[in-house]
Amino acid sequence: MPFDQAAFDRDVRPALLVLADGEVFEGEATGAESPRGVATGEVVFNTVLSGYQEVITDPSYAGQMVAFTYPHIGNYGATVLDDESRRPFCRGVIVREMTRRRSNWRAEEDLNELLVRHGVPGIAGIDTRRLTRHLRDAGSMPGAFGTADEATLLAAARAEPGTADIDMVAEVTTASPYIVGSGPRRVVAYDFGIKTTILRHLGELATVEVVPASTSAADVLAREPDGIFLSNGPGDPAAVVGAAAAIEALLGRVPVFGICLGHQLLATALGAQTYKLAFGHHGGNHPVRRLATGAVEITSQNHNFAVADGTLPSADVTHVNLNDGVIEGIRSREAPAFSVQYHPEAGPGPHDARYLFEEFADLMDKGL
């Protein structure tokens, strides 16, 4: 069926994006209708060129609105096979142009249809280059978009608390344990917002029991795992109730591997401090140096908080971000435990760091 431009023009709903500092961007509403014409969240930008569905369905974006720097989003549609979680947890999607017609044999629906189906509001027609430059200079901040008037949106943006000091993990974690994979080892994976692609990799190494974020160390040890995995997830690691204490109780008892938020929580359990980055790392092209070999890995990243350098009393730094020097990996000197800030599962992103899953397998096989 040919594209109906007249019908499209009739359906255009003018909308605004307003940041908490008063910056205003004009666009048009897309995706789901937001209540009273207002959607709010912390506005961050992501630099991936593809993989928009994996980004939108990544639970680590809970509480946030994702602005894509790539100008054309939705080109190849969407399929449930690419979902990274049971539903999107982001508050909204911001794009320059939402593609009007998908073109891919795998597609089951348009990106806009996915947003509507899951109740995720969007705004298109935004000058995302200007928005990205502003966030880069001023830092990530709360914002509001929708069909409401500018004053209403500004008030909503300024009332939005953001993600600091809030336990966002409670919103995304599983309610009850479940098992995936059929590998020869036994792994217990803490679900702080775990991604499907991570489970796919772990499932090749082990039979994985995914447990809620609030699971105690005693409950984990009662499952007699060969290894413990600490997943990615949203928000402030200092606000995740009980997680660091549980991890501390597990250290030295079972090998541990953490990714993203799991990296920050492992570092916290080892005595480190964390802090919020100005605008975070969100994209698929971050260069990271592996200190043991000097090799540079191109990595996928999605985080707003990081481990503070100089606060690790009992761990070595193993990886460093070449853009800004942020700690990207650590290894405990006193227990079989290591973690990375970036996403070696590459969903989406490059595959340079998939060797880390094999390192976890080797650590489990060596035992204690």
**CB neighbour burial string for 44-60, b if at least 16 within 10 angstroms, e if fewer:** bbbebeebbbbbbbbbb
CA distance 239 to 242: 9
Is 164 inside any structural domain? Answer: no
Q: Which of 260, 263, 281, 319 is catalytic?
A: 260
Domain housing 119: 5-159
Confidence at residue 9, expressed as pLDDT on a 0 to 100 scale: 53
Question: Quick one: 186 and 328 in the same domain?
Answer: yes
Residue finishing a domain among 115, 131, 159: 159
Q: Which residue among the candidates 42, 54, 209, 345 is catalytic per the annotation?
A: 345
Q: Give the active site residue among 134, 263, 286, 343.
A: 343
In this structure, are 261 and 343 located in the same domain? yes
CA distance 163 to 44: 11
Structural domain contains residue 337: yes
Query: Cα(18)–Cα(26) distance, rounded to whole angstroms?
Result: 9
**Together in a domain, 220 and 355:** yes
| Domain termination residue (choose one: 104, 132, 159) | 159
List all residues 6 or more positions away from 10 whose beta carbon is below 8 Å from its beta carbon.
none
312 and 228 in a common domain: yes
In a domain, 97, yes or no: yes
In this prediction, residue 232 carries a pLDDT of 98
Instruction: Check which CATH number belongs to the domain holding 287 and give it.
Output: 3.40.50.880
- Amino acid type, 48: V
Active-site residue 90, yes or no?
A: no
pLDDT (tens place) for every residue of the chain, 368 residues total: 444 555 445 578 999 999 999 999 999 999 999 989 999 999 999 999 999 999 999 999 999 999 999 999 999 999 999 999 999 999 999 999 999 899 999 999 999 999 999 999 999 999 999 999 999 999 999 999 999 999 999 999 999 999 999 999 999 999 999 999 999 999 999 999 999 999 999 999 999 999 999 999 999 999 999 999 999 999 999 999 999 999 999 999 999 999 999 999 999 999 999 999 999 999 999 999 999 999 999 999 999 999 999 999 999 999 999 999 999 999 999 999 999 999 999 989 889 999 999 999 999 998 76
Q: Between the CA of residue 171 and those of 38, 198, 212, 273, 278, what are the distances in Å?
A: 21, 19, 11, 24, 24
Confirm whether 60 is domain-assigned.
yes
Angle of CA points 83, 89, 95, to nearest 5°: 80
In a domain, 173, yes or no: yes
Clarify whether residues 280 and 176 are in a common domain. Answer: yes
Q: Using omega within 30 degrees of 0 as the cis cutoff, is the peptide bond preceding 14 cis?
A: no
What confidence score (pLDDT) does residue 109 get? 96
Range 282-308 burial, b when 16+ CB lie within 10 A, else e: bbbebebbbeeeeeebbbbbbbbbbbe
- Both 175 and 151 in one domain: the answer is no
> What is the CATH number for 106?
3.50.30.20
Whether residues 194 and 67 share a domain: the answer is no
In this predicted structure, what is the pLDDT of residue 10?
52
Give CA 348 to chain center in angstroms: 11
* CA gap 170, 29 in Å, rounded: 30
Give the per-residue pLDDT at 8.
Answer: 47
**Total tally of structural domains belonging to the chain:** 2
Whether 113 and 247 share a structural domain: no
Same domain, 177 and 279: yes
- Is 359 found in the same domain as 341? yes
Judge whether 345 counts as a catalytic residue: yes
Domain boundary among 126, 159, 192: 159
Q: What is the 3-state secondary structure (H, E, C) of the chain?
A: CCCCHHHHHHHCCEEEEEECCCCEEEEEEEECCCHHHCEEEEEEEECCCCCHHHHHCCHHHCCEEEEECCCEECCCCECHHHCCCCCCCCCEEECCEECCCCCCCCCCECHHHHHHHHCCEEEECCCHHHHHHHHHHHCCEEEEEECCCHHHHHHHHHHCCCCCCCCCHHHHCCCCCEEECCCCEEEEEEECCCCHHHHHHHHHHEEEEEEECCCCHHHHHHCCCCEEEECCCCCCHHHCCCHHHHHHHHCCCCCEEEECHHHHHHHHHCCCCEEEEEEEEEEEEEEEEECCCCCEEEEEEEEEEEECCCCCCCEEEEEEECCCCCEEEEEECCCCEEEECCECCCCCCCCCCCHHHHHHHHHHHHCC
pLDDT recorded at residue 100: 87
pTM for this model (two decimals):
0.95
Residues 210, 69 share a domain: no
Residues 34 and 153 in one domain: yes
Residue 303, pLDDT score: 96
For residue 154, being part of any structural domain is answered with: yes
